[in-house]
Amino acid sequence: QEKLDMSTYPVESIRNFSIIAHVDHGKSTLADRLLEITGTISKTDHNKQVLDKLQVERERGITVKAQSASLFYNHEGINYLLNLIDTPGHVDFSYEVSRSLSACQGVILVVDANEGIQAQTVANFYLAFEAQLSIIPVINKIDLKNADPERVEQQIEKLFDIPTDECIRVSAKQGTNVEKVLQKVIEKIPPPQCNTADPLKALVFDSTFDHYRGVIANVALFGGEVEKGHQIVSAHTKKRYEVNEVGILTPNEQPTHKLYAGQVGYVIAGMKEVTEAQIGDTLFLYKQPVEPLPGFKSAKPMVFAGMYPADQTEYNNLKSALERLTLNDSSVTVHRDSSLALGAGWRLGFLGLLHMEVFNQRLEQEYNMSVILTAPTVPYKAILSSAKLIKEHGKDQITIINPAQFPDKLSVSEYLEPTVLGTIVTPHEYIGKIITLCQDRRAVQKDMLYIDENRVMLKYLFPLNEIVVDFYDALKSLSSGYASFDYEDAGYQSADLIKMDILLNGNPVEELATIIHKDKAYAAGKLLCERLKETIPRQLFEIAIQAAIGKKIIARETLKAYRKNVVAKCYGGDITRRMKLLKRQAEGKRLMRKIGNVEVPRDAFIRVLKRETNK
């Protein structure tokens, strides 16, 4: 494979940009057309979402991972190098978007001409706006028969203050007007501010693991140059490596002689350990240290779930699979955890439910691991009032991830639960239903704004645990799929939280304890008891399944005992004879219940703790 010479692209002729949009507004399709026009991939009918390389992305038809590609384009006689990053649209992956924007100087904001502005469009616009990037609005899907680009242009002008004449109308599927986007990119987006003469300074914005070559780090160069044979040092680990290969991604890896300031590419430098290429790390030349780049804010996990190997002998394999996958998806946080029922495992923090599902699917597909995921929970906080506990923890505020660590009400001045600020964009005919849904979820309305005559933007403050499991599904089914939802972290607020225990014959079962809001405890307790009744095998004695808050029982189900028909031998005869036999049996059952203890089989736990998918 011939190596490219990258020195012909000085900093002035480099443009770095991302494509951002709401889910399904055509980001990846637009990226395909841009790749075709610049000759990076050949024009065939098979180019459908070329940049979505993962199997998960192919199956679900969504982008999960931001992918970068370098394009060469000749405009008015000058050769330009355009580095494009295609980003995901779901709110669960907004961390990928904010990371990609750090390597860019401008963005293409894609809006669907049919759907108009949706919640994620607004969120991504503000991410780019706060990063002070130049924004090129593109209205996509004008070939659809219901497309209404004029309406969308007015929405963009009203919400984002971008004049209507700046919008480019394209159809990414048919390739209409896409050339114009490239010309706009070159005219409007500034080149990166850096110099080849400076010492090397490279930001690692993504990394993957290859069995044969170790860690492949995707880097954006903010100064200097790098080539094979250079000695580089990581600012994070202070370890020294020798560069084996550098190159650019034209989506596939293309080795080059050198990489220069302002360019985006990959570096392979014999990093064998998965933990070595930290995302957000700065690389520099040995003996030429530089001020490390600010890196990224670490992602804030919103949803926690326990992950356990389906079989304990798989623990070590799962551990290495997790390490490799978290290298590629750095927004997952991992803590060791163990449960009496499920053995040793981890507590993983995800950015949302879709993120959790995709992570699980990638473990299965890419690493062949089958795991047990417990029901998702959110992190609560407690402000302690007892001096003894404050001394023990060393601070007066603790975070509770596991219900087992929930402190007693007497030693706490108040409990806090995480909240999020949700934005819902919906056609106005569904407002009534949506407001009712939000009130059921204990949400507080903050704002309501008409974008145009038939689109409304609602802002609500939600408790996170109310929206984490099925809010999105409920919203979609109420609004026939038209409403879109996006949320951002809004800190903690005080809440009336309690710990609900599950008792079997009066003995608490530790793994089934949950933290829940007082108003919702009764319904949740009843549901859990019913589910347990179906999954626990019957015994020779009666089992009482109870949900309790402190000493107060709030729900109960009774699992009947197996019993022998002791009166089968009585034909007629006196009733007292019958009563005597039944009484004797009842005595025996009562004795048995005293000494018998209920073993909950592992698969019953799994069935109860797993997320309910059939609700």
Integer Cα distance of 229 and 225 in angstroms: 12
Per the DSSP assignment, residues forming a β-bridge with 304 are 349, 377
pLDDT higher than 80, residue 49: no
pLDDT higher than 70, residue 46: no
**Greater model confidence, 543 or 98:** 543
Chain-centroid distance of CA 128 in Å reads 20
The pLDDT of 127-133, averaged and rounded, is 84
Cβ-Cβ contacts under 8 Å for 117 (sequence gap 6 or more)? 22, 111, 152, 155, 156, 159, 425, 451, 455
pLDDT for residue 584: 92
208: nearest Cα among 250, 285, 293, 267: 267
- Percent of the chain residues topping a pLDDT of 90: 3
Residue with tokens 């040995």: 286
pLDDT for residue 553: 92
pLDDT for residue 291: 78
Segments in 229-352 forming alpha helices (H): 315-328
Any idea what the Cα angle at residue 278 is, between residues 276 and 281, rounded to 5°?
115
Query: Quick check: 369 and 321 in contact, CB under 8 A?
Result: yes
Query: Quick check: 166 and 139 in contact, CB under 8 A?
Result: no
Question: Terminus-to-terminus CA distance in the chain, angstroms?
Answer: 54
Q: Tokens representing 474?
A: 């409920």
pLDDT for residue 615: 41
**Greater model confidence, 342 or 171:** 171
- Strand 67-75 versus strand 134-140 pairing type: unpaired
DSSP H or E segment with residue 37: helix 27-37
- The mean pLDDT of the chain is 82
- Max mean pLDDT range (203-217, 284-298, 319-333, 430-444): 430-444
Other Cβ atoms closer than 10 A to 29 = 22
The pLDDT of 529-536, averaged and rounded, is 87
pLDDT higher than 80, residue 470: no
241: nearest Cα among 286, 205, 211: 286
pLDDT higher than 70, residue 1: no
Query: Quick check: 403 and 515 in contact, CB under 8 A?
Result: yes
The full length of the chain comes to 615
| Domains of the chain in sequence order | 6-188 (3.40.50.300), 201-285 (2.40.30.10), 303-372 (3.30.70.870), 380-495 (3.30.70.240), 499-609 (3.30.70.2570)
Per the DSSP assignment, residues forming a β-bridge with 459 are 423, 447
Integer Cα distance of 412 and 497 in angstroms: 11
70-74, 368-372, 400-404: segment of lowest average pLDDT: 400-404
**pTM of the model as a whole:** 0.73
* Residue 546 banded pLDDT, cuts 50, 70, 90: very high
Q: With both helix axes pointing from N to C terminus, report the angle between 521-535 and 602-609 in degrees, rounded to the nearest 10.
A: 150
The pLDDT of 212-239, averaged and rounded, is 83
pLDDT higher than 70, residue 473: yes
Kindly write down the DSSP assignment for every residue of 85-136, as one continuous string.
EE---SGGGHHHHHHHHTT-SEEEEEEETTT-S-HHHHHHHHHHHHTT-EEE
pLDDT for residue 427: 83
Any idea what the Cα angle at residue 112 is, between residues 29 and 353, rounded to 5°?
80
The model's pLDDT over 159-168, given as tens digits with 9 standing for 90+, comes to: 888 888 888 8
Q: Tokens representing 568?
A: 């089968």
Integer Cα distance of 12 and 14 in angstroms: 6
Integer Cα distance of 348 and 301 in angstroms: 9
Query: Quick check: 135 and 109 in contact, CB under 8 A?
Result: yes
- Strand 231-234 versus strand 258-260 pairing type: unpaired
Integer Cα distance of 190 and 609 in angstroms: 52
φ, ψ (nearest 5 deg) of residue 400: -110, 115
Query: Quick check: 533 and 604 in contact, CB under 8 A?
Result: no
Per 3-state DSSP, the chain is made up of helix, strand and coil in percentages (nearest 5) of 30, 35, 35
pLDDT higher than 70, residue 591: yes
Any idea what the Cα angle at residue 411 is, between residues 408 and 412, rounded to 5°?
90
pLDDT higher than 50, residue 614: no
pLDDT for residue 274: 63
Any idea what the Cα angle at residue 266 is, between residues 263 and 267, rounded to 5°?
115
* Residue 45 banded pLDDT, cuts 50, 70, 90: low
Residue with tokens 């914005």: 205
pLDDT for residue 613: 44
- Percent of the chain residues topping a pLDDT of 70: 94
**3 state SS of 499:** strand
Dihedral sign computed on CA atoms, order 509, 514, 519, 524: negative
Integer Cα distance of 22 and 66 in angstroms: 14
pLDDT higher than 90, residue 583: yes
